[in-house]
C-alpha cells in the first residue's frame, strides 16, 4: 500500500466573529493543546480569510457556515470549506450556493442534516432542501447537536454540561440511513463536525462554559489521508486538506474514548488499490482490509446492511459483489457501547 499521511482535524467551529465565545487565538491555542493538525473555522455567514495560516504546528483554515436568517423555518445550514470569497449573499438559494462553492474551488457539506429537539431545547436546524444536488457530502455526526435531544430539562442539561462523555452515543440512525440512500446514486462524503461555540451556561449564581473548545477538539474529529505531507506552504497544504475531503479520503473518529489515529480501510483488486472514498470496477474479486488502532466491535456494511462483524483490530473480507462498502466501529466507554469510527465508503460499481 502506498504510503499515506494521516492528519487529524476538527471542522465546524464558531468564534467571536459570529456566535462563538473564543477569539481566533483562543481557538488556535485550544486546538494546539488538543494536539490537532488542522482546524476549519466556519463562522455563520462570515468568511474571515485573514485569519487563515499556520499557527505554530497547527494549520488554521477558514470556511463559513451559510444559512438564510430570513427564512421562517430555520435550517439548511451549509458548510462551505475552501472558498475564496464570501458566498453568503446566495443563502436564499441553496442550489445556487452549492454550485458557487464548487465553482469557487471549495467543498460543501450539509450541516446537521437531521436534528432532534427536546422539550427543553426545542429549536432544530435540519437540512430542508433535499432536492439539491452537487454537494460534496454531509456532516454525519455533529458533536454539539447530539446533546440537544438529551437535554430534557435544566437538570439533565447541567449533567450534560459537566459530563458530556456519558451522553455521547453517535450519529443519528436517520442520518446514517440517508447517507446510505444518497451514496446509491453517487459518492457522498461524510465528515464529523464539532459545532463548538463554548457558550456560557447560567444556573443560579453559577456560570459554566458549555463544552469548551479544547474538549470539543478531543471529541468528534475528521481524520484525513493525504498522498504527500504538509509542507508549511498554506496554499499547498490547504489543497491537500480539500482534496482529501472532496475525495472522501477521510473518516469520522470519536477520539475522546480512544484515539482513532491509525485506522485504515482499503481494498485491493489485482494491481489496483482503493482507499476509502475511491471506486473499483465490478467483476473481479475485491479484498477488503480493515485495521483498527485497538480492538473494537467492527462492522463491514454493504449498501446499508451489515455483511460481516467481529471484535478485534483486524478484518479481511473477499467478495466480488458490487456495492457501497463502509466500516463502522464501536467501543465500550463510560458504561455503554459508543460509536467510535465511521469510514467513508469504497464504491465497487461502474463509474
Ligand atoms: Zn448550523
Ligand atoms: Zn454551526
Residue 79 Cα to ligand 2 middle (Å): 8
Q: What is the pLDDT of residue 2?
A: 55
Contact (Cβ atoms closer than 8 angstroms) between residue 146 and residue 139: no
- CA dist 335 and 326 (Å) reads 26
For residue 11, pLDDT beyond 80? yes
For range 118-133, the mean pLDDT: 92
What percent of the chain has pLDDT above 70?
99
199 confidence band (pLDDT: 50, 70, 90): confident
Q: 9 CA to middle of ligand 2, Å?
A: 16
Q: Is pLDDT above 60 for 1?
A: no
Residue-level length of the chain: 351
Half-sphere exposure of 174 (CA within 13 A, CB side): 8
**Residue 68 CA to ligand 1 centre (angstroms):** 11
Expressed in angstroms and rounded, the spacing between residue 292 Cα and the centre of ligand 2 is: 30
Domains of the chain: 5-254 (3.20.20.140), 264-348 (2.60.40)
Place of cell 445550514: 77
Question: What is the helix (H) or strand (E) element at residue 150, kind and residue range?
Answer: helix 143-150
Ligand 2 centroid to Cα of residue 17, in Å, is 12
Report the DSSP pairing between strands 107-110 and 137-142: parallel
Which residues fall within 8 angstroms of residue 76, CB to CB, at 6 or more apart? 67, 68, 94, 110, 127, 128, 129
Separation of alpha carbons 69 and 85, rounded Å = 19
Distance from the alpha carbon of residue 153 to the mean position of ligand 1, in angstroms:
22
**Which ligand number lies closest to the CA of residue 20?**
2
Q: Rounded mean pLDDT of 96-115?
A: 98
**Cα 62 to ligand 1 centre (Å):** 16
- Checking if the pLDDT of 203 tops 80, the result is no
pLDDT of 166: 96
Distance 44 CA to ligand 2 centre (A): 7
The pLDDT assigned to 211 comes to 87
Q: Is the pTM of this model over 0.85?
A: yes
Residue the block writes with cell 488499490 = 273
Give 212: exposed, middle or buried? Use CB within 10 Å, 0-12, 13-18, 19+.
middle
Find the ligand nearest to 19 CA: 2
Ligand at shortest distance from the CA of 14: 2
* Measured CA angle at 11 (ends 326, 223), to 5 deg: 40
Mean pLDDT of the 102-130 span = 94
Cα(337) to centroid(ligand 1), Å = 27
How far does residue 192's CA lie from ligand 2's centre (Å)? 12
Ligand 1 centroid, distance to 79 Cα (angstroms):
8
Residues 6+ away with beta carbon under 8 Å from 150: 118, 156, 160, 167
Percent of the chain residues topping a pLDDT of 90: 88
Sequence-ordered list of residues with C-beta below 8 angstroms from that of 63, at least 6 positions apart, any chain: 40, 41, 42, 47, 79, 80, 81, 82, 83, 106
Mean pLDDT on 91-97: 97
Ligand 1 center to 127 CA (angstroms): 10
Containing 25, the helix (H) or strand (E) segment is helix 24-33
- What mean pLDDT comes out for the span 324-335? 98
Please give the distance, rounded to the nearest whole angstrom, from the Cα atom of residue 167 to the centre of ligand 1.
Answer: 20
Cell numbers 462524503 label which residue? Answer: 189
Lowest-pLDDT choice from 8-22, 29-43, 189-203, 239-253: 189-203
All three cell numbers of 25, joined, read: 487565538
What pLDDT does 349 receive? 97
Rounded average pLDDT over 313-341: 97
Q: Are 9 and 230 in contact (CB under 8 A)?
A: no
Instruction: Give the residue among 117, 118, 147, 126 at the shortest CA–CA distance from 216.
Output: 147
Distance of CA 347 to the CA centre of its chain: 19
* Cα 314 to ligand 1 centre (Å): 36
Name residue, grid cell 453517487.
186
Asked if pLDDT for residue 314 goes beyond 80, the answer is yes
For 100-123, the three-class secondary structure string (H helix, E strand, C coil) is HHHHCCCEEEECCCCCCCCCCCCC
pLDDT value at 71 more than 90:
no
| pLDDT of 206 above 90 | no
Note the pLDDT of residue 201.
79
* pLDDT higher than 80, residue 72: no
Burial, 276: exposed, middle or buried (Cβ in 10 Å; 0-12, 13-18, 19+)? Answer: buried
Pick the ligand that lies closest to the CA of residue 74.
1
Element (H, E) at 41: strand 38-44
pLDDT band, very low/low/confident/very high, at 215 (cuts 50, 70, 90): very high
Mean pLDDT of the chain: 95
The mean pLDDT of 6-20, rounded to a whole number, is: 97
Burial of 165 (0-12, 13-18, 19+ CB in 10 A): middle
Distance CA 172, CA 181 (A): 14
Q: What is the pLDDT of residue 59?
A: 98
* pLDDT, position 158: 87
C-alpha to C-alpha distance for 107 and 285, rounded to whole angstroms: 33
Q: What is the mean pLDDT of residues 208-231?
A: 94
Q: How far is the CA of 28 from the centre of ligand 1 (A)?
A: 21
Amino acid at each position: 500500500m502506498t504510503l499515506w499521511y494521516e492528519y487529524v482535524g476538527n471542522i465546524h467551529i464558531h468564534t467571536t466573529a459570529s456566535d462563538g465565545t473564543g477569539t481566533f487565538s483562543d481557538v488556535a491555542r485550544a486546538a494546539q493543546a488538543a494536539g490537532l493538525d488542522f482546524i476549519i473555522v466556519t463562522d455563520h455567514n462570515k468568511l474571515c480569510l485573514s485569519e487563515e495560516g499556520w499557527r505554530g504546528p497547527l494549520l488554521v483554515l477558514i470556511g463559513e457556515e451559510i444559512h438564510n436568517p430570513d427564512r421562517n423555518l430555520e435550517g439548511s445550514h451549509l458548510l462551505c470549506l475552501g472558498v475564496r470569497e464570501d458566498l453568503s449573499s446566495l443563502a436564499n438559494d441553496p442550489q445556487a450556493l452549492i454550485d458557487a462553492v464548487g465553482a469557487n474551488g471549495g467543498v460543501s457539506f450539509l450541516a446537521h442534516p437531521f436534528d432532534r429537539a427536546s422539550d427543553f431545547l426545542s429549536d432544530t436546524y435540519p437540512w430542508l432542501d433535499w432536492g439539491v444536488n452537487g454537494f460534496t457530502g454531509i456532516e454525519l455526526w455533529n458533536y454539539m447537536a447530539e446533546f440537544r435531544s438529551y437535554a430534557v430539562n435544566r437538570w439533565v442539561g447541567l449533567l450534560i454540561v459537566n459530563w458530556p462523555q456519558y451522553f455521547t452515543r453517535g450519529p443519528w440512525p436517520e442520518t446514517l440511513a440517508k447517507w446510505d440512500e444518497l451514496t446509491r446514486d453517487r459518492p457522498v462524503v461524510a465528515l464529523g463536525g464539532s459545532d463548538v461555540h463554548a457558550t456560557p451556561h447560567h444556573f443560579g449564581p453559577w456560570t459554566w462554559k458549555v463544552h469548551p473548545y479544547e474538549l470539543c477538539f478531543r471529541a468528534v474529529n475528521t481524520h484525513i489521508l493525504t498522498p504527500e505531507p504538509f509542507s508549511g506552504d498554506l496554499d499547498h497544504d490547504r489543497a491537500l486538506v480539500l482534496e482529501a475531503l472532496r475525495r472522501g479520503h477521510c473518516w469520522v473518529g470519536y477520539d475522546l474514548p480512544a484515539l482513532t489515529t491509525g485506522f485504515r480501510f482499503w481494498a485491493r483488486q489485482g494491481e489496483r488499490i482503493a482507499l476509502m472514498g475511491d471506486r473499483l470496477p465490478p467483476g473481479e474479486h475485491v479484498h477488503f482490509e480493515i485495521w483498527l488502532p485497538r480492538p473494537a466491535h467492527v462492522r463491514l456494511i454493504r449498501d446499508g446492511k451489515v455483511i460481516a462483524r467481529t471484535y478485534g483490530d483486524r478484518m479481511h473480507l473477499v467478495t466480488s459483489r458490487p456495492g457501497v462498502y463502509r466500516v463502522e466501529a464501536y467501543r465500550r466507554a463510560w458504561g455503554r457501547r459508543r460509536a467510535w469510527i465511521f469510514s467513508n465508503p469504497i464504491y465497487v460499481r461502474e463509474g
